Amino acid sequence: MTDRRQDSYAVRVEAAELARSRNHPNHQANGDEQRYAGDQYFMSFTKGLPHNPDTGLLEDPQDFVEFRRAIDDGFIDPFSDRVRHGALFVVGAGGVMPDPAPTNDFRQWEAPTAGVVFELEGPDAQAVTMPPAPPLVDASGNVNPELVFEMAEVYELAILRDQPFNDFETGTANADITNSIARLNALSYITNGQPGRPRKVDSAGELDPQTVFRGSSPGVEVGPYLSQFLLIGNTDRNGNGSVDQGLITYGVLHIDQKVPLAQPGEDYMREMDDYVLVQRGIRPGPENYVPDGGASSRPLRRFISTPRDLATYVHYDALYEAYLNACIILLEMGTPFDPSFDHLSGVGAAASSASTRRNAGGFALYGGPHILNLVTEVATRALKAVRFQKFNNHIRLRPEALAARLELVRLGLPAPPALISSMGTFRGILENNSGGTLNAIAALPGVGAGSYFLPMAFPEGSPMHPAYGAGHATVAGACVTILKAFFDTSAVLAESGGTVTFKRLSSGDTPIAFRAPAISNPPGGTLDASTPDEFLTLEGELNKLAANISIGRDMAGVHYFTDYYDSLRMGEEIAIGILEEQALTYSTDPFVLSLPTFDGDVRRIGSR
């Protein structure tokens, strides 16, 4: 571990401990009955508990007390024995009471005890940490500009949900995107130089079409918005087909990169009644898809083309799906492994040349099966670690709930005084930033027009667990780190002799990039290829893949940018811990794994 990373990690550990002791609702409380009572619960995750039908707020703070006690206990049964689920209780004139006609189709809290387990490989769930998420009020007593900005981002992504990704690039002219960027650039977080988690910006320190919503790591701002790994495929076992078909070879099978087309313009939870039902944990019906018009009754499919398409992808993906796909693509392309152990893999560049080919090589050890196992194995460790942060540490409310607080203030309904004051200021900022993000939200047509509710891509809104950290982002950080460790991240996407691969740059190579075809009906059958000004690097496309998947959850309305930024780095630490242990078990042939981090440093792991 480099000194810089040691310092960064130590700061994050200390910050997380401070968050637990100072920022949590149990700070300075006296006795169990008062541990979580008071007005502070209104900035915590309460989904699944009984909510007031008029205000959308938790009705009885004692429900939050019992919820926190169940989390502290670390067992599943207390969540049924002591915690009142909102789908089974209603709020009436007498307060919270059993629902006379309760539904059996309610949503469960997802794995609230997973963070208290121990691991036999890699760091325990409690051994990695994250700093506090941006609070509502900063150290100066003012509404926190970082939180204002990341909530504005989520709103703007909802506004842009059906705009083509091809317009999120330099040289495009999309008025909706330009207006959103202007509103974001008008906020103090950007004008003051991003004092918190940084986004990619242009040379003037502002967001532009090429940098907006891109993430923070090296290379994410280069080329198309979408990582190539969410679009391209590879050839079949006999070398037939082409990458622009988007078919990924799995042995003798293939997987199609096209996704089902969710109904454009159809968003959810834009009225109080719908919002409260969802906050109570009652399961709504599924989203609607555009039919393909054939006899199959299946939805129409296309390459990921809009934020709504990416939200659809991250709604139902197996959490390691995108990274396993990337691994398969790279292995089938013959992408070179890290030069420091390429000769051990048996499948890298060393094996392809008679002058460097060894008589023995890897397969179960530092070959294809090894990386295919590790790129998925780290996912469960990441999920357990992030559950500890979600439930046991931060309990952060979801963007849908923060937006509902703004709508509460707009309606002038009764609420805790601290909430009215802070949300009133929050509201004023977002109504006056270059035409107003909230004004643009209220102007959206359809059900709920005029409100400040966050239009959600999913009928059920967020999952049944707190926002911070993000499961998708933690898994992304862990899985992408494994890929960076094995493959040569300096490889570039190039066309050479009619073949498209990630390869080490050589004379005669031509840069190439792929995009989804222009939105049409029926959708285009193959990707559009272009010749960019610079080569896309493997490091950049893997960083972009992690950002796309993580920020795709923001596009659905279920996460903030902070959830991506800090969770990605925690996932990285989990993967590094596992790789360090793997290296200890292999003490014969010397090797070194060199991996660039999401902050641009380089970590080296190898046999001693």
256-272: pLDDT as tens digits:
999 999 999 999 999 99
* Residues in a beta bridge with 244: none
Confirm whether 370 is a catalytic residue: no
Whole-number pLDDT of residue 385: 97
Dump pLDDT digits (tens) for 461-504: 999 999 999 999 999 999 999 999 999 999 999 999 899 999 99
Amino acid at position 517, single letter: P
Residues of the chain short of pLDDT 50, as ranges, are 1-39
Q: Are the C-beta atoms of residues 283 and 105 closer than 8 Å to each other?
A: yes
Whole-number pLDDT of residue 588: 81
What's the CA gap between 500 and 423, in Å, rounded?
Answer: 52
- Block residue for tokens 């294809």: 368
pTM of the model as a whole: 0.93
Interhelix angle 3-18/561-584, rounded to 10 degrees, is: 120
* Residues in a beta bridge with 268: 456
Nearby residues of 211 by Cβ (< 8 Å), 6 or more positions away: 199, 200, 201, 202, 221
Nearby residues of 97 by Cβ (< 8 Å), 6 or more positions away: 89, 90, 91
What's the CA gap between 111 and 100, in Å, rounded?
Answer: 28
Confirm whether 465 is a catalytic residue: yes
Helices (H), 86-174: 145-159
Q: Are the C-beta atoms of residues 330 and 502 closer than 8 Å to each other?
A: yes
Locate the domains of the chain by residue range. Answer: 1-341+381-491+535-608
Determine the 3-state secondary structure of 4 from DSSP: helix
310-312-316 Cα angle (round to 5): 120
Tokens of 56: 């959308």
Q: Are the C-beta atoms of residues 59 and 91 closer than 8 Å to each other?
A: yes
> What H or E segment, with its residue span, contains residue 579?
helix 561-584
DSSP state of 49: S
Amino acid at position 347, single letter: V
The CB density around residue 108, as the number of other CB atoms within 10 Å, is 14
Whole-number pLDDT of residue 607: 67
What's the CA gap between 408 and 38, in Å, rounded?
Answer: 19
Whole-number pLDDT of residue 4: 35
CA distances from 402 to 135, 199, 303, 377, 532 (A): 12, 22, 32, 34, 40
What's the CA gap between 309 and 299, in Å, rounded?
Answer: 13
Whole-number pLDDT of residue 15: 40
Tokens of 155: 């709103």
Q: What CATH homologous superfamily does 1-341+381-491+535-608 map to? A: Vanadium-containing Chloroperoxidase, domain 2 (1.10.606.10)
Whole-number pLDDT of residue 3: 39
HSE (side-chain half, CA atoms, 13 Å) at 331? 24
What's the CA gap between 174 and 167, in Å, rounded?
Answer: 6
Whole-number pLDDT of residue 16: 42
Choice among 85, 343, 394, 472 that is catalytic:
472
